């Protein structure tokens, strides 16, 4: 019979109040399988209405009995995560009344945010008062643009110039013709992918890598070729990169050399040089995502030269930038820096993609760059992320002493081993205990990194403490094999 867990089981009295366990028994195989499928659907890693393999097929693939798969499917059907029709098979579903999963991206609704700590997104709230100031500045500059039709597929000329000037100031001479403004870094990577990669072509990626880009590349029908990151913050294993680029000759390689998401690694000057050399020799376009580059949290760490400095012309190295981490993701402003002919082709492809980027937001970023507000806001960001990192790290060390990680010098993410426990089960159990974390496999190719979760530097103080105690409670439950029954509404799964 279900009973409330006491604090001695959960370490978090609040978590205890919202969880019940059916004894402390082992999870049956069918339940474990059903939980995995449910988590995949909730995280959006398997879309709703995706057809699942027939029971016999899945049983053979997993090396389990058909009875186990049948029982798991039945459990999922009862919970509303599966629909089946005789003769037509089974496909994933969401329980009635639950919003569709959006890979955990939407901010939680206010009534849920009070009880659930969302560690799903590595993004901070706007650095006020700079957002308000920038928007006011943008509105003042709007009238001449308002008299045009408003479509600028390459971006507003003034913003292209300002972004080019910023690269020039970083030591890479850049013309505005080398810049295209996009809808966030994601818009930039999508445009690059449309231009360079055909269905079925290979793209080399770090393993682990930024989950949404991996999914974008999968959706585009590319074949991902993972290259393992070194242990700790060592990052890029250059012999492995050289071998992969030589043997697989991928059309494109996508790397996050600056405070990599999720590991936080920072590529050294030498690693950058060798990466560019290897890509050049293989004829691979190196796409370098600098979204996190400005979030250097430890002053004593010298920023390496931008990868683009090794190919200022921009035909071998295509750089992606974004306002999302330096300033605010809500602006949805990103950009590409590349050779002018690449930019022209990217712009031409835009007419049948998203046409352009909103004018007011571009003006706001232009205003920030012109007034020095950008640099002041970045300083606020860095201070906030540094404080969050230090407090989160301390809380995790206190409550989860066997979780292992290397503390990154920048970025917004802590990539942590979960003490030999399944990251997916911790994510699943954590969600029910009021803490939402993405599990390791979201950042891998083909289900790698089951023993990891990613924690973002978005909370501090009492919230970081509470997040760590809830995660510790989740880890205890997973370790004990207890079956958890949710008492919280599912509506926060967005």
Ligand X SMILES: Cc1ncc(COP(=O)(O)O)c(C=O)c1O
CB 242 to ligand X: min, Å: 23
217 binds ligand X per the rule CB under 6 A: no
Residues between 103 and 122 that touch ligand X (CB under 6 A):
122
Selected from 40, 42, 72, 185, the binder of ligand X by CB under 6 A is 185
Q: For strands 223-230 and 435-436, give the pairing.
A: unpaired
Binding mask of the shown chain, residues 136 to 175, with x at each position contacting ligand X by CB under 6 A = ----------------------------------------
Stretch that binds ligand X, among 8-16, 234-242, 285-293, 343-351 (CB under 6 A): 285-293
- Select from 27, 52, 26, 53 the least CA-distant residue to 41: 52
CB 382 to ligand X: min, Å: 16
Stretch that binds ligand X, among 94-102, 159-167, 178-186, 482-490 (CB under 6 A): 178-186
Rounded distance, CA 298 to CA 286, Å? 27
Nearest to ligand X of 12, 206 (CB atom): 206
Whole-number Cα distances in Å, 276 to 223, 241, 269, 335: 21, 10, 11, 21
Stretch that binds ligand X, among 45-53, 181-189, 300-308, 418-426 (CB under 6 A): 181-189
Selected from 261, 271, 357, 416, the binder of ligand X by CB under 6 A is 261
CB 295 to ligand X: min, Å: 10
Nearest to ligand X of 324, 429 (CB atom): 324
329 binds ligand X per the rule CB under 6 A: yes
Q: Which two structure tokens, joined as six digits, stand for 379?
A: 């300083």
Rounded distance, CA 460 to CA 100, Å? 30
Rounded distance, CA 177 to CA 166, Å? 14
CB 191 to ligand X: min, Å: 12
Rounded distance, CA 178 to CA 210, Å? 25
Establish how many alpha carbons lie within 13 A of residue 346's alpha carbon, considering only the half-sphere containing its beta carbon. Answer: 31
Rounded distance, CA 28 to CA 171, Å? 60
Question: Could you give phi then psi for residue 63, rounded to 5 degrees?
Answer: 70, 35
Angle at 59 between CA 58 and CA 62, to 5 degrees: 80
Q: Which two structure tokens, joined as six digits, stand for 477?
A: 């439950």
- Find the residue with minimal CB distance to ligand X: 184
Nearest to ligand X of 93, 203 (CB atom): 203
Stretch that binds ligand X, among 182-190, 218-226, 234-242, 363-371 (CB under 6 A): 182-190
267 binds ligand X per the rule CB under 6 A: no
Selected from 90, 98, 291, 418, the binder of ligand X by CB under 6 A is 291
Peptide bond preceding 129: is omega within 30 degrees of 0, i.e. cis?
yes
Selected from 210, 327, 405, 452, the binder of ligand X by CB under 6 A is 210
324 binds ligand X per the rule CB under 6 A: yes
Rounded distance, CA 120 to CA 155, Å? 31
Nearest to ligand X of 178, 261 (CB atom): 261
Q: What 3-state DSSP class applies to 92?
A: strand
Distance of CA 255 to the CA centre of its chain: 13
- Select from 423, 329, 463, 361 the least CA-distant residue to 14: 463
Stretch that binds ligand X, among 91-99, 288-296, 436-444, 482-490 (CB under 6 A): 288-296
Rounded distance, CA 59 to CA 69, Å? 6
Stretch that binds ligand X, among 94-102, 265-273, 284-292, 337-345 (CB under 6 A): 284-292
Binding stretches for ligand X (CB under 6 A) = 122, 184-186, 210, 256, 261, 289, 291-292, 322, 324, 329, 334
């Amino acid at each position: 019979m279900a009973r409330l867990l006491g604090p001695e089981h959960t370490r978090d009295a609040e978590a205890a109040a919202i969880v019940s366990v059916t004894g402390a028994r082992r999870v049956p195989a069918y339940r474990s399988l059903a939980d995995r499928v449910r988590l995949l659907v909730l995280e959006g890693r398997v879309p709703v209405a995706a057809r699942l393999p027939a029971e016999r097929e899945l049983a053979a693939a997993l090396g389990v009995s058909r009875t186990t798969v049948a029982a798991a499917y039945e459990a999922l059907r009862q919970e509303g995560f599966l629909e089946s029709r005789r003769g037509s098979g089974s496909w994933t579903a969401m329980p009635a009344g639950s919003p569709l999963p959006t890979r955990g991206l939407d901010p939680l609704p206010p009534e849920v945010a009070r009880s659930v700590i969302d560690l799903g997104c590595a993004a901070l709230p706007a650095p006020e008062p700079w957002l308000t100031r920038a928007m006011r500045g943008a509105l003042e500059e709007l009238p001449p643009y308002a008299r045009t039709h408003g479509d600028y597929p390459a971006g507003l000329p003034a913003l292209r110039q300002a972004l080019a000037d910023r690269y020039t100031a970083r030591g890479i001479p850049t013309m505005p013709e080398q810049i295209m403004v996009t809808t966030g870094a994601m818009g930039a990577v999508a445009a690059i992918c449309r231009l360079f990669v055909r269905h079925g072509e290979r793209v080399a990626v770090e393993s682990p890598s930024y989950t949404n880009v991996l999914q974008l590349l999968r959706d585009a029908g590319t074949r991902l070729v993972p290259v393992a990151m070194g242990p700790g913050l060592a990052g890029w294993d250059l012999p492995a990169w050289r071998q992969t680029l030589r043997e697989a000759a991928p059309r494109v390689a996508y790397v996050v050399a600056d405070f990599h998401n999720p590991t936080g690694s920072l590529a050294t000057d030498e690693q950058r040089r060798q990466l560019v050399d290897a890509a050049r020799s293989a004829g691979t376009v190196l796409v370098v995502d600098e979204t996190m580059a400005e979030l250097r949290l430890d002053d004593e760490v010298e920023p390496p030269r931008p990868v683009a400095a090794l190919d200022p012309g921009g035909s071998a190295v295509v750089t992606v930038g974004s306002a999302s981490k330096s300033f605010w993701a809500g602006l949805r402003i990103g950009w590409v820096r590349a050779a002018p002919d690449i930019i022209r082709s990217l712009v031409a492809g835009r007419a049948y993609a998203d046409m352009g980027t909103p004018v007011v937001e571009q003006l706001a970023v232009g205003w920030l760059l012109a007034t020095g507000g950008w640099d002041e806001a970045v300083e606020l960001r860095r201070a906030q992320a540094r404080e969050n990192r230090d407090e989160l790290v301390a809380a995790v060390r206190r409550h989860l002493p066997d979780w292992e990680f290397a503390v990154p010098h920048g970025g917004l993410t802590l990539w942590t081993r979960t003490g030999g426990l399944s990251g997916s089960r911790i994510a699943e159990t954590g969600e029910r205990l009021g803490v939402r974390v993405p599990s390791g496999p979201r950042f891998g190719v083909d289900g790698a990194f089951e023993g990891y979760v990613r924690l973002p530097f978005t909370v501090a103080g009492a919230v970081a403490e509470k997040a760590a105690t809830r995660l510790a409670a989740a880890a205890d439950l997973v370790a004990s094999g207890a079956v958890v029954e949710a008492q919280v509404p599912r509506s926060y799964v967005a």
